[in-house]
Structure 1
């Protein structure tokens, strides 16, 4: 069962006008609806509905305009200009803005602003008192009863006995950092696998560090990469001659022959192919 469409008064009036004109031109050319249907591939019932403005059979307005264009073209009329006279716009009912439906209960109660201001004033007052108390303690620590050793007339630098606790703490921190960075505290290089490479040509690479894939992809000529592992590094290259390897700071050398697919596993202390 076809769905009946609802046209606006202007659409209905224009459809009757255009349909009547098309029927008149068709009859003057002595064409039947079947012959027009063969030219346009439009069903006869739709052509008849256009001529009679029968909306019970016709589709939506946008499709009616397309049917009118094809009908007019079959009658050797300018279909595009002819069909443009049929309006396709719908009557849109204005929607009420959603913000107009908001209720007064959604607004923030005014008394909450006063509570917020009171809390803010209390916090500021407490912070001010805390700062004043800290200043009083600092003044008390520097009271006249404390004795400060004067600097020597012979030098402007303080002696070791005059070094403040803060400076002493900084010196201890620097000593600990220096000790932590001493070479003897770092793990020796021969306990790790370090492989550096420089690409002499584009090459596909797959690097597996301690059984985990660390890289897989294409590196371009001129790129440099370094990988480290605890036990082993397995490198597979699609163009072994384009990869120059440096293992644990040893002499650099190509991974293999140019264009060859090569897989090399580096372990401590010596590499193994």
Structure 2
């Protein structure tokens, strides 16, 4: 079935390449995307699984299948994405990417000639120089007239700024003295609030902290319900808690660090390999159970 599909696609594409009028890139992209989608659906493969294997975002794969050229990068990069998609399906990625044309920017064939340019006559030069001298004289006179006004404005602004600075310093001094007691009370309240948050944290038997060292697709299931599913960028730090069971599934296990109940963080698996980790409350060791402070 796969060989017949590829044969029909390549035969149709070669006939269009030999035609007199070249086919638009968007139409060719739509044909390539339709072939890839047809093969994916025949093999019952979801678009999310393709995104995990190829490390290509789901919206990019969907744009390729729907032939949305305006949602994709430059054609040279789009060829690489098509190649990765086809190879993940077990097809010849080079052949698929070859049939997406890359147009070079058109070069202008207009030739400039000095003969076609208008020539200045002596009368034109005389009028131009006269206009230039008049503009220069007017500009100098206005500049000299405004210099005195600028100096007066600068002196007035300096005095006003000095008065405003003095008023600001007085206001800051009075505000600092008034807020000194309030700041002390706020510090005590912040300390109490921080203590309460520490007491509440880690109250559930299973707590998993995830740190992303590389971009990865993630799915987190908390007590039988999916709490998160999507792609997390590098540098993301997230924490999930569960009463009974917590399941973590990563598409790029080598880019995910996992720490259980504030323990030592460890890599989930090898780079580029999907992996699932299951944490159950009744299977935790005594040293892995959360400790409540206070």
More helix by share: 2
Alignment TM-score > 0.5, same fold:
no
Structure showing greater radius of gyration is: 1
Q: Under a length normalisation based on structure 1, what TM-score does the superposition of the two structures give?
A: 0.33
| TM-score for both structures, normalised by structure 2 | 0.31
